[in-house]
Structure 1
């Protein structure tokens, strides 16, 4: 089981961003040197309550510091973008990193983002599905012609092609069973996020079941978790409780919990954290990660350990403890 780090690119409005580039480079190097295998950066737009650094330039900016790590969009909100441009972007990143790029895609859920991009949310699923189909073909074929519900192209070729043979992996983020099974059919893997442990376990099983039905290989199974490590349980919970509660209240306001079956992100901390957050001492975090390993057997757990309002010092100490006392026990 490998581990990815979700890099912070979302910050409070009153936080100065002077020097933020140096902080992000330092955290990337820390992840690289402490045993993480992947670096993820997310995407959101028109966030009037947060400063949100755009993922595409940030990924490119940090690519020279990743060592042997894979670098990934986590996630590219595909319905907002023209798939030809995303195919070209992904190919460029793959060339520049020597074949260490992976494209994470998701459908998006926030009405305001659809609105500002001039996209009808009702078309989101079609744009997502057709976008994936087109990117796969553009990465591996010349003269692509496509006539879909949303996109129509005639004789389109992109150059350069990606370095990876036959192409970079495409991983879909999904949070309910129907979208997980769609990911199994359309892409090379699935990354589950936000749902509690039992639901994530069921979704991992659904992904593998659908891959088997499609007579496909096992694919990539990833689980995203909020993780924070400190010397004591009390110290760990104290460091993240307010930040995570506020973050999930923000998710709720954006409509994220509306797309997850039976969930409420506005729940009190004790309910919200149950089966969803991994917060505690190194030994406690090891035990919980081993539970994931034994129950779901994921290929990777994507860890987010820095949240809006938290300083880099606190987050980096958690990363150091993960690298020193947690990852070696469960990798």
Structure 2
């Protein structure tokens, strides 16, 4: 089992130090959340996973450009993968988003993981003068364009949301054929996106029992699509999973657990090390 650390649950001041410690301790990946902007009119958003529908963060929460911040972490680390959980890819033109993650992959030596989502906050889309109802279709088209930009020598596109004449997009990412794309979300549309367009799926917070039906559903969809489930990355956020459940997650076919090793930012590095000892996290041979 690979273990990823959700940095977004800690104070931003410790993100880099925690990422460096995770790299040294043998954690596989670190993950940053992403929003372009928070607004004061989030009441109609209906955040998924919140029983009362209230947004999980206040609008004054500090936000950062995730690929830029992860690139700064790349400069301080050697092995740990650098992922977004999740990036609103459809809020940007794919030329912009593909450039951001292509650069991150380049400067990190091929360690970018592109977790993408359609988004839940209607007000964020309104702030950019985009139709919230088109977010899924816009994301799907942006993913398709980005994959072409990352792999083809010359790309021209005419689509519903994006159109441009032939361009040359260099350099290509170091990862081949491109950085892994993981679709976030729990809806039927999100699962279809994962199977049709992406290299894996990344969940919202789950327990072992709540993750099981989603994973079984994904496996049926992969089979129906004729896709090999082996390379398809199943990433589950399981912040509270006890060590004795790790084997059960592996039996489900989960490749990676995103965990919450630390609850206090001031003690995050110490708590990260203690978690590694309990869960058997250790550097790979030769690391």
CA distance in 1, matches of 2:9, 2:78: 20
Structure 1 residue 10: Cα displacement: 6.5
| Residue 7 (structure 2) aligns with | 7
The CA distance in 2 between the partners of 1:199 and 1:176, in whole Å, is: 14
Offset of 1:62 from its aligned partner?
Answer: 0.8
* Partners of 2:130 and 2:9 in 1: CA distance: 24
- SS of corresponding position for 2:8: coil
2:200 to 169, 189, 192: 189
Report what 1:225 is aligned to: 238
Query: Secondary structure of 1:288's partner?
Result: helix
- Counterpart selection for 1:96 from 107, 110, 120: 107
RMSD: 2.1
What stretches of structure 1 of length at least 5 have no aligned partner? 12-16, 227-276, 279-284
Question: Shift of the alpha carbon at 1:139?
Answer: 0.4
Q: Secondary structure at the match of 2:195?
A: helix
Which of 270, 273, 281 pairs up with 1:317? 270
Q: 1:195 Cα shift?
A: 4.2
Aligned pairs, how many?
261
SS of 2:238's equivalent in the other structure is strand
Q: Check whether the contact 2:117–2:184 (CA below 8 A) recurs between aligned residues.
A: yes
Distance 2:221 2:151 in 1: 25
Within a 5 Å distance, the mapping from 1:153-192 to structure 2 comes to 153-192=164-203
Alignment partner of 1:288 is 2:241:
no
Describe the superposition over 1:76-119 as per-residue Cα deviations: whole angstroms up to 9, x where unpaired: 11121111111111111111111111211111111121122221
CA shift digits 1:248-298 (9 cap, x unpaired): xxxxxxxxxxxxxxxxxxxxxxxxxxxxx33xxxxxx2113333223x220
Indicate the structure with greater helix content. Answer: 1
The Cα of 1:214 is off from its aligned counterpart by 2.0
Contact 1:175–1:194 (8 Å) recurs in 2? no
Q: Matched residues in 2 for 1:201 and 1:9: separation?
A: 24
Distance (Å, rounded) in 2 between the aligned partners of 1:328 and 1:60: 24
In structure 2, the partner of 1:146 is 157
1:1-331 aligned at under 5 Å gives the runs 1-8=1-8, 11=11, 20=13, 23-44=14-35, 45-46=37-38, 48-218=59-229, 219-226=232-239, 277-278=240-241, 285-294=242-251, 296-306=252-262, 311-328=264-281
